[in-house]
Amino acid sequence: MNNEQKDHAALADIFNKDEARVDWHDETLWWIRAKRDKSVHQIPEWEALRETASQIKNNVLSNLHTYLQQFETNAQANGITVHWASDAKEHNEIVHSLLKMHDVTRMVKSKSMLTEELHLNEYLADHGVDVIDSDLGERIVQLAKEPPSHIVLPCIHKKKEEIGALFHQYMGIAEGISDPQFLTETARQHLRETFLTRKAALTGVNFAVAETGEFVVCTNEGNADMGAHLADVHIASMGIEKIIPKREHLGVFLRLLTRSATGQPITTYSSHFSKPRNGEKMHIIIVDNGRTVQLGREEFRNSLKCIRCGACMNTCPVYRRSGGHSYHNAISGPIGAILAPNLDMEKYADLPFASTLCGSCSNVCPVKIDIHDQLYKWRQVIVQKGYAPTAKKLSMQAMAKTLASPTAYHLAGKAGRWVMKIAPFALNNKLNPWYKNRDMPKPPDESFGEWYKKNR
Amino acid sequence: MSSREKILASVKLNQPQTIDLPDISFLKGDSTNAIEKFITVLTTIGGKVVRIKNLDEIKSLLPQQFNLESRIVTTIPELSSIAELNTGEYIDPHTLEDIELTIIRAHFAVAENGAVWITEDLMGQRVLPFICQHLAVIVEAAALVPTMHEAYQKIGEGRYGFGSFIAGPSKTADIEQSLVLGAHGPRSMTIFLLDGNLSKYI
């Protein structure tokens, strides 16, 4: 995808060309944020719940070494095979080898942002394995050959007419249909056939309980269950940070997750997988892929507390108006912008700058990640390590010099006011990003310093 | 060094000093009006609640909503006169594809979110509550807990191969946030809330 050469601002520019769509995108996501608020306000102990969840996750991160082994031992005792993968390559090879072992060339997959991060689908396609994503939104973006633009709402950027056109092309429905009910029914019929014919199913993991060795998968559609309970082989992929200590902690997280995500009181299905059913093989792949490095970054390790609800995206004024694809990373939005630089600081150097630092993300986060503080801290790390774009570096240096010298500062102020008065076109043109969608202010006649000298 | 050892070594090296687990015993729900809350919440998320006094009522209610000629499967012996009985005997799950209605029971229900807790032993087959076109679940009105905290207290250290909280019909809003019931699983969910004791029927 050539999107990867463009930065957030350039990709947001593309999204912003269609102003009506931006408005629609913005309003839709804000509506979901409002639903979250309504739902949250019905829980008087909401803030205590967030604080508790945050503390449980702090404990998890500080004791992960023990919990991971405890989980492994208990899962194995339950009859689940546990695999460990350091990176994407190893994870994808394990999945492929399991499929080969069971002689499977077609697999059904439910929502797993981890496998998006690891580019599993592309890997398997290159190795002759056909993967069908079964979450409706993921199926839609898969047909459109796009990545998900949101971790909970994968095709939130798509209009129903576009989805109708895709279904016309790939599922043979008549042209011009855009009724969501009809389109969903069409996908239901198609995917039912998929569920019934696939011998292997891959799911993500929402929570893995160290105490019991079970893992929990949450969906509204029931697609994870349809896939797993009909397949001979169930593979579940999880990042190391999905561990929680005890079963009773699920009570805390399941109360927070969906209320934060969509405003629902709980997902339709919160399925607890503990043992394979008779004759079935169950595998768990525990993945690092940079997470242990992030764990060692004191200022950023909190990002590993994330439970993937997407609330920070729905509330983010930048995300809502730039769209998920502008983040050119599997996980978009504010949380994606603090996770991605850990994986590749150069490639994702632009993301921590795609924020107003308004703090709304941190306010809605159910596990109290200090997202906007981390965005600010990443900017400093990125500039210090020399990954900031040259134009930004030069202007920051010029700014630093000017602000450090009173003479230069007064001179620059005077020059600026003079230019704005005499030659406004020097600033009021499209080369100046501050001029986009707004007028430049009228320059004052004098600076405060000059006024004060006259009037004190 | 294997990846397992490498990852665990790296975790050990990078994890911060131990931070204690918080006490969660203060998180409790309020059980007043639990039945009303449960009905309101489940109805809001697309489910139906029917209050019954005995299972005979189900037998007389069903023909009004379902074609009894279509395939109906239950795990409850008392209902075997109107449905095919499966109490866990192995059958290929794929053969359950044409089920119109599944009738099973749940251990308990949760007032705050409309969910019912069902483990494998009550499902007959794991896929049974998911693959049917419609799902009906019987739960005792007395077995209602206010929140998920009481729910997990009730589950305690119970062992199960598989268990699920199910709250309402399968649904999606992936297309322009329009809510559609019946994504991949049941198109409807009916809860029969039983005033009385369920154990005498099983």
Q: Give residue-wise pLDDT tens across range B15-46.
A: 999 999 999 999 999 999 999 999 999 999 99
d(CA A162, CA B51): 44
Q: Give residue-wise pLDDT tens across range B124-178.
A: 999 999 999 999 999 999 999 999 999 999 999 999 999 999 999 999 999 999 9
A162 CB contacts (<8 Å, ≥6 apart)?
Answer: A144
Tell me, what's the pLDDT at A445?
Answer: 85
Lowest mean pLDDT among A42-56, A295-309, B80-94: B80-94
CB contact under 8 A, B148 and A264: no
d(CA B74, CA B86): 6
User: Which of A251-255, A411-415, A421-425 has maximum average pLDDT?
Assistant: A251-255
Residues of B with Cβ-Cβ distance to A140 under 8 angstroms: 174-175
Residues of B with Cβ-Cβ distance to A292 under 8 angstroms: 7, 10-11, 13-14
CB contact under 8 A, B27 and A136: no
Tell me, what's the pLDDT at A417?
Answer: 87
Structure tokens at A73: 């031992």
Is residue A428 within 8 A of residue A440, CB to CB? The reply is: yes
Tell me, what's the pLDDT at A345?
Answer: 95
Choose, out of B7, B41, B90, the residue to mutate when testing the contact with A (most A CBs < 10 Å): B7
- Split at pLDDT 50, 70, 90, the class of A435 is confident
ipTM value > 0.85: yes
Structure tokens at A9: 């601002």
Q: Give residue-wise pLDDT tens across range A153-162.
A: 999 999 999 9
* Class at the top of the CATH hierarchy for domain A16-292: alpha beta
Does residue A2 surpass a pLDDT of 50?
Answer: no
A266 contacts chain B (CB < 8 A)? yes
Mean pLDDT of A248-258: 98
Domains of chain B, residue spans: 33-201
Tell me, what's the pLDDT at A281?
Answer: 97
Q: Tell me the nearest-neighbour CA distance from B145 into chain A, angstroms.
A: 12
Between the two ends of chain B, the Cα-to-Cα distance in Å is 54
Q: What is the mean pLDDT of chain A?
A: 95
Is domain B33-201 classified as CATH 3.40.50.10420?
Answer: yes
Radius of gyration of chain B (CA): 20
Tell me, what's the pLDDT at A316?
Answer: 98
Phi–psi pair at A366, nearest 5 degrees: -70, -15
Q: Tell me the nearest-neighbour CA distance from B191 into chain A, angstroms.
A: 14
Residues of B with Cβ-Cβ distance to A45 under 8 angstroms: 27
Name the nearest CA neighbour of A231 among A107, A369, A340, A353. A107
Tell me, what's the pLDDT at B11?
Answer: 98
User: Given B162, B176, B182, which is nearest A272 (Cβ)?
Assistant: B162
Is residue A244 within 8 A of residue A211, CB to CB? The reply is: no
Share of chain A above pLDDT 90, in %: 85
Radius of gyration of chain A (CA): 25
Choose, out of B6, B10, B11, the residue to mutate when testing the contact with A (most A CBs < 10 Å): B11
How many Cβ pairs closer than 8 A exist between chain A and B?
245
Does residue A4 surpass a pLDDT of 70?
Answer: no
Does residue B202 surpass a pLDDT of 80?
Answer: no
DSSP A214-227: -EEEEESS-HHHHH
Locate the chain A residue with the closest alpha carbon to B119.
A272
Determine the angle formed by the axes of helices A371-384 and A333-343, rounding to 10 degrees: 30
Tell me, what's the pLDDT at A395?
Answer: 84
Tell me, what's the pLDDT at A227?
Answer: 98
Q: Which of residues 366-395 of A touch B (CB under 8 A)?
A: none
Domains of chain A, residue spans: 16-292, 405-455
Is residue B105 within 8 A of residue B75, CB to CB? The reply is: yes
Does residue B196 surpass a pLDDT of 60?
Answer: yes
CB contact under 8 A, B11 and A222: no
d(CA A21, CA A425): 31
Choose, out of B5, B6, B15, the residue to mutate when testing the contact with A (most A CBs < 10 Å): B15
More confident residue, A429 or A186: A186
For chain B, counts of helices (H) and of strands (E): 6, 12
- Split at pLDDT 50, 70, 90, the class of A169 is very high
Structure tokens at A89: 């390559």
- pTM confidence score: 0.94
Q: Tell me the nearest-neighbour CA distance from B112 into chain A, angstroms.
A: 7
d(CA A128, CA B102): 38
User: Given B7, B120, B172, which is nearest A220 (Cβ)?
Assistant: B172
Q: Give residue-wise pLDDT tens across range B40-94.
A: 999 999 999 999 999 999 999 998 888 889 999 999 999 999 999 998 888 999 9
Does residue A1 surpass a pLDDT of 50?
Answer: no
* Eight-class DSSP state of A433: G
Phi–psi pair at B32, nearest 5 degrees: -70, 140
Tell me, what's the pLDDT at B187?
Answer: 97
Is residue A225 within 8 A of residue A268, CB to CB? The reply is: no
Q: Tell me the nearest-neighbour CA distance from A11 into chain B, angstroms.
A: 22
User: Given A85, A136, A268, which is nearest B174 (Cβ)?
Assistant: A136
A255 contacts chain B (CB < 8 A)? yes
What's CA A113's distance to the chain center, in Å? 8
d(CA B72, CA B86): 11
Q: Cite the DSSP H helix spans in A352-447.
A: 360-364, 371-384, 390-404, 406-422
Tell me, what's the pLDDT at B42?
Answer: 98
